[in-house]
Amino acid sequence: MRCHMLSVRLNDERGSSLIEFVVLGLLLQLTLLTSGTALLAWQHDQIASESISRHALRSHLLHGLPIQETVDDLTTQFQVGSKVSWVLDCDGSCADSGSIAALRVQIGAVSATSYLPVP
Cα(105)–Cα(114) distance, rounded to whole angstroms? 9
Reported as a single tens digit per residue, the pLDDT across 67-117 is: 999 999 999 999 998 789 999 998 878 888 889 999 999 998 999 999 999
Which residues, including other chains, have CB under 8 Å from residue 81's CB and lie 6 or more apart? 75
What is this structure's pTM?
0.74
Question: Taking residues 44-48, what's their average pLDDT?
Answer: 94
User: What is the model's pLDDT at position 93?
Assistant: 81
Looking at every residue in the chain, the average pLDDT score rounds to 87
Residue-level pLDDT at 8: 54
Tell me how far apart the alpha carbons of residues 71 and 57 are, in angstroms, rounded to a whole number: 9
For the chain, percent of residues with pLDDT exceeding 70: 87
Q: Is the confidence at residue 55, as pLDDT, over 60?
A: yes
Give the model's pLDDT for residue 9.
61
pLDDT range class, residue 28, cuts 50, 70, 90:
very high
Q: Which of 53, 43, 42 is nearest to 75 (CA)?
A: 53
Q: Across residues 11-32, what is the average pLDDT?
A: 83
